[in-house]
Structure 1
């Protein structure tokens, strides 16, 4: 009797989630497909958008030393035909972009004549060479991508990365979540007992092959006893995350210029220098990280200095963000491509890479912030939020927030009940995306 009642409870939760998905379809699409629209339903079997019922499809992998010319030669094309195919396909897929390990396919008829050759450009994108007519034509094909809603929650015992991995979710979710809360939570200072729960959309091709995380669709992060909600809401055609009061989670500056690395030295007016063997001010923060780790600008701005300082900063960059703030990045191994004095940069852009140039005992980033030309502690500066939800959109935002929190709570309850039953049906993770 107990198990029967529990199953009825589980069913009612699933029905509730489906009802929410239907009701909210006017606010957001339930399921999104990226790329070419699907074929009309017929009895025909399609691959790469081609009806292959009367054709044979053979898949290959590009090996070392193989070029487009050798691939076509191996498929039986004569030199004259090879040249025509190479000329045609180069317009959408230059031969130099072929990579070892990528796949290609030959589609042949009953006489073994090649009617199509398909080259993989990425896991979703392909270049199709159509040889079925009198002339050679080429076009792009994109596999339909289906978004599926999934859920994860956990408690941090060592790091966010490990906590995410413990849930069985993709490791990339840790970076996605840290991006959402980059302005609220210092992920160098997460505490044991901090926790999170979130729902996110995963992109699949062929309904079974995961190609990546599309987006986080709602989250609650508890840091040092304080709960931070992240509610996705579109305003002025831009999707942003807001807290429960409708304030944007984005701020003028990122908390840190690196992802998930160790602070070895903090802001100080008197720090013992390991090379100079004396105490002197250290008006910055040292982030230990391997050589080559990407360095991000913490805010929009203009590069006002780029150079090398022997016996000091080594390779360094200085970014002016506004009339008040500038930031400096030191001991760099190299600069990002296209970064020059006068370059405009956007928040989160990779501008350089960690190194150990100048007066440095090992690879790290020395990061400094100046406010009105005076050094300030990068770990304690306050940054004003971006625009909150507009008054005329407030009611819509509250509806979205209620829906997101209801789904998070329902998914948590459903997951707990299914865990007790020791089975998690596919329907739990196949909730229509953007519902």
Structure 2
């Protein structure tokens, strides 16, 4: 009996232990090594001009007429001694005397009850700026704002002028000048007529979400007198230029100089001592010294629009209109070339006159001038267009490029523009 009791007690103990272990919770691998992710959000400072503006109080302003840097800073508590050091130290970076009225500036000051100016930022242009540190270091450095581009499509129908067509369609009117420059050798924009129409693919540039102008123009279709004129901005051998749909250049090269000369005796200047009058006045041309009678040639194809004499000025002179953008003038001539009269058509290299010393001149020379859109420019800085068509080896790439842009242009149907024109009549 005693042996049987021992067996029963032993069995009961085994059952009890098995129940105990079967009821215990099983640990999973995740429960044994729990992982907790902690995310810490870090707020990045807002930067402007490369400075953390969250830490400062900002004052935006515009330079007033006849206002100098010293007046702006001194009114904000910057001492004249510090201002003098800034002016002298900044000469190699930015001459403070070139600060112009109407330009923007920003002053960054501490957020104290009595603000202390720490930085003065002058915006040289919509993109460039100069930072003046008003701390002990008095550092001066320049920077540039980020320029963002957005691709745009413009189109319109001419009612009175291309400029007005841009304005009427809510587009930047400066686009009209860009188109006249692109088609300068193809279309006379002084002769465009009502019903001429255009469509363009181009970039618009933005700084701080504000438009600052036109960027690259990639493709243009201009329907003039019912004739389609195309322009495509194509990269050929690392040179970007405009070509028509056949790959021919839209630019024609000017001659480097209108004559064979011995030296340049006077350059383009806005303040030159006149050799005869002995007073300072602008000389907006280039003087080429050469013997009397040296042939003077037109630098490009065009039409003679003036052949006259100025006793107190350029003496015998010829003016040639090359296109709707460029005109050239040749002055102090001793005589005119054969067949040179108002209305005459001339070809590049034609002799239009001979070097002389007529008018106000101390010796024989040619006073040569170039006007672009009516504004005299330095002839030595006018970039001569390449004038080369697309090379044979580049034609497959050009054709693919051109065809893709034409498809984009044709997404604006002429029928839509016809309806616009019909509604305006």
Same fold (TM over 0.5): yes
State the Cα distance separating 1:306 from its structure 2 match.
Answer: 4.3
C-alpha contact (below 8 Å) 2:199/2:222 kept by paired residues: yes
State the Cα distance separating 1:101 from its structure 2 match.
Answer: 2.2
Partner of 1:216: 217
User: In the TM superposition, what whole-angstrom CA distance separates every residue of 1:295-318 from its partner, at most 9, and x where no partner exists?
Assistant: 8446xxxx8634899xxxxxxxxx
Listed as ranges, the matches of 1:4-403 within 5 Å are: 43-111=44-112, 112-132=115-135, 134-207=136-209, 209-252=210-253, 296-297=326-327, 305-306=331-332, 323-324=349-350, 326=352, 348=372, 352=376, 386-403=387-404
Aligned with 1:72: secondary structure?
helix
User: In the TM superposition, what whole-angstrom CA distance separates every residue of 1:57-109 from its partner, at most 9, and x where no partner exists?
Assistant: 11122223421111121121122212111212333222221222222221122
State the alpha-carbon separation in 2 of the partners of residues 198 and 295 from structure 1.
20
State the Cα distance separating 1:350 from its structure 2 match.
Answer: 6.8
State the alpha-carbon separation in 2 of the partners of residues 78 and 284 from structure 1.
57
C-alpha contact (below 8 Å) 1:119/1:127 kept by paired residues: yes
User: Which protein shows a greater Rg?
Assistant: 2
State the Cα distance separating 1:349 from its structure 2 match.
Answer: 8.8
Cα distance 1:72–1:392, how it changes in 2: closer, same or farther (>3 A)?
same
Query: What is the RMSD of the two structures over their aligned residues, measured on CA atoms?
Result: 4.3
State the alpha-carbon separation in 2 of the partners of residues 66 and 307 from structure 1.
47
C-alpha contact (below 8 Å) 2:330/2:369 kept by paired residues: no
C-alpha contact (below 8 Å) 1:153/1:195 kept by paired residues: yes
Aligned with 2:410: secondary structure?
helix
Q: Which has the higher contact order (CA 8 A, sep 6+)?
A: 1
C-alpha contact (below 8 Å) 2:253/2:386 kept by paired residues: yes
Aligned with 1:53: secondary structure?
helix
Partner of 1:20: none
State the alpha-carbon separation in 1 of the partners of residues 326 and 332 from structure 2.
15
State the alpha-carbon separation in 2 of the partners of residues 249 and 85 from structure 1.
50
Partner of 2:287: none
C-alpha contact (below 8 Å) 1:247/1:385 kept by paired residues: no
C-alpha contact (below 8 Å) 2:158/2:194 kept by paired residues: yes
State the alpha-carbon separation in 2 of the partners of residues 295 and 152 from structure 1.
22
State the Cα distance separating 1:172 from its structure 2 match.
Answer: 1.0
State the Cα distance separating 1:321 from its structure 2 match.
Answer: 9.0
State the alpha-carbon separation in 1 of the partners of residues 194 and 373 from structure 2.
30
How many residue pairs get matched?
294
Cα distance 1:392–1:267, how it changes in 2: closer, same or farther (>3 A)?
closer
C-alpha contact (below 8 Å) 2:181/2:325 kept by paired residues: no
What are structure 1's unaligned runs of at least 5 residues? 1-40, 255-265, 274-282, 288-293, 310-319, 329-339, 354-383, 420-435
Normalising by structure 1, report the TM-score: 0.58
Moved over 3 A (4+): 283-287, 294-298, 303-309, 320-323, 325-328, 340-353
Aligned with 2:54: secondary structure?
coil
Aligned with 2:178: secondary structure?
helix
State the Cα distance separating 1:127 from its structure 2 match.
Answer: 0.8
State the Cα distance separating 1:341 from its structure 2 match.
Answer: 5.0
State the alpha-carbon separation in 2 of the partners of residues 345 and 285 from structure 1.
11
Normalising by structure 2, report the TM-score: 0.59
Cα distance 1:170–1:308, how it changes in 2: closer, same or farther (>3 A)?
farther
Cα distance 1:48–1:215, how it changes in 2: closer, same or farther (>3 A)?
same
State the alpha-carbon separation in 1 of the partners of residues 43 and 374 from structure 2.
48
State the Cα distance separating 1:345 from its structure 2 match.
Answer: 7.2
State the alpha-carbon separation in 1 of the partners of residues 304 and 347 from structure 2.
21
State the Cα distance separating 1:131 from its structure 2 match.
Answer: 3.4
Higher deviation after alignment, 114-123 or 92-101:
92-101
State the alpha-carbon separation in 2 of the partners of residues 121 and 75 from structure 1.
21
Cα distance 1:308–1:107, how it changes in 2: closer, same or farther (>3 A)?
farther
C-alpha contact (below 8 Å) 2:77/2:116 kept by paired residues: no
What are structure 2's unaligned runs of at least 5 residues? 1-41, 256-302, 309-317, 336-345, 355-363, 378-384, 420-425
State the alpha-carbon separation in 1 of the partners of residues 223 and 88 from structure 2.
57
State the alpha-carbon separation in 2 of the partners of residues 253 and 213 from structure 1.
26
Partner of 1:13: none
